[in-house]
Amino acid sequence: MIGYVTLGTKDLKKAAVFYDRIAAEMGIGRFIDSETFIAWGKPGRGAGLALTKPYDGKPMTVGNGVMAALAAKDKAQVDRIYQLALSLGGTDEGPPGPRGEGFYAAYFRDPEGNKLNAYVVG
């Protein structure tokens, strides 16, 4: 149902370093790359996550209750993504672990405060 999620940024180049590393861990590269917008995805499947400076020119803000979820291939990858995010300046929002029956996830924020999680079902 969802084609992609776009998050705001104050500094596209700096934020891209964080997301390039997370995407690389997941085997994904840049799908679109311009001066104002970067999206990561797989060829033939479209973008999954994108970053942009706000179109209206106003300061970027973090949405309260907004979160982008990144589908990992297994629990070990959830753990690696979480540790990678923290090593890149992200902050903890809930360490890796079970979150109900059959759902394993880790929650973190990027250096600008956008909330994400890495998860696997099963």
Q: How far is CA 45 from its chain centroid?
A: 17
Cα–Cα–Cα angle for 112, 118, 119, nearest 5°? 155
Whether pLDDT at 3 is above 80 = no
Q: What is the pLDDT of residue 1?
A: 55
Residue 103: which pLDDT band, with cuts at 50, 70 and 90? very high
Whether pLDDT at 80 is above 70 = yes
Whether pLDDT at 77 is above 90 = yes
Q: Which domains does the chain have, with CATH numbers?
A: 5-54+67-121 (3.10.180.10)
- Reading the block at residue 113, the tokens are 């405060």
Distance (Å, whole) CA 95 – CA 89: 15
> Checking phi first, is residue 24 left (phi over 0); if not, alpha (psi -120 to 50) or beta?
alpha
> pLDDT digit string (tens) for 23-66?
999 999 998 899 989 999 987 776 689 999 888 889 889 888 88
Distance (Å, whole) CA 40 – CA 52: 12
pTM for this entry:
0.87
Q: What is the pLDDT of residue 11?
A: 94
> Exposed, middle or buried by CB within 10 Å (0-12, 13-18, 19+), for 90?
buried
Helix (H) or strand (E) holding 73: none
Q: What is the mean pLDDT of the chain?
A: 92
Q: How many helices (H) and strands (E) does the chain have?
A: 2, 8
End-to-end CA distance of the chain: 21
Amino acid at 64: N
